[in-house]
Structure 1
Amino acid sequence: MSSASFEPDRSSTGIDPKVAGLLAYFLGFITGIIFLVVEKQSRFVKFHALQSIAVSALFIVINLVLGFIPVIGWLVGLILTPLGFILWIALMLLALQGKSFKLPYIGDWAEQQSYKF
């Protein structure tokens, strides 16, 4: 886990880029998609929007798969749910602090894609 190489730059949304980064995580992939579509210039906001979309999609897939596994899947879900909540809060707070915190694999992907959007 590391920080991406770009600092919060001015957002085309008119919102402080740190707040926009936080809001990109707020409703998971929903706000991630909204900020990805609306943001025209800030790579910082685009990075957080893309990472939000990817993390949300990953957790949805994991929960769906675990739902098909009797007992063990339910128990693993009981552990992953609070961990996912903690990760969600941490990512929002890091974005609010102006940090481009990269999760393993997902963060690298989000950083690469933020240059393309």
Structure 2
Amino acid sequence: MLCYICMPVTSIIFMLLEKDNKDIQFHAWQGAAFGIGYILVVIAIEILSTILTAIISFLGMLVGLLVPLVGLAAFVVWIVCLVKSYQGERWKIPYIGDFAEKKAGLA
């Protein structure tokens, strides 16, 4: 559960500290990939919004509204990850979970 608290920092710490526990490795890899992916998506949306604002301001503002929606979706996924890991379950985020399983040696 701690892997998801301050992603991706705590995830990377647990990757390094708990190398023998495959469940912790899974959650650490998934948390790191999810955290980094979220940051990259928000940066991409902000860049696109800035470019579109320079061309057509209204369109740029509309694209800029995606950031809170992406943030809300990420928050929901984050809560599910916290709850499932606390319950001892290995819940996979689509695409990211498969990557995490491979990196943790579970697939």
- TM-score, normalised with respect to structure 1: 0.77
Q: Aligned residue for 2:22?
A: 43
Partner of 1:103, secondary structure, is: coil
Greater helix proportion: 2
Partner AA of 1:106 in structure 2: I
Q: What CA distance in whole angstroms lies between the structure 2 residues aligned with 1:102 and 1:82?
A: 19
Q: Aligned residue for 1:76?
A: 66
Greater Cα radius of gyration, structure 1 or 2: 2
- TM-score, normalised with respect to structure 2: 0.84
Structure 1: gaps of 5 or more residues:
1-21
Q: Aligned residue for 2:40?
A: 61
CA RMSD of aligned residues (A): 1.2
Q: What CA distance in whole angstroms lies between the structure 2 residues aligned with 1:81 and 1:103?
A: 16
Identity %: 29
| Runs ≥4 residues deviating over 4 A | none
The worse-fitting range, judged by mean Cα deviation, of 60-69 and 78-87 is: 78-87
Partner AA of 1:41 in structure 2: D
Deviations 1:38-85 (A, max 9, x none): 002110000000000000111000100111212133211121111111
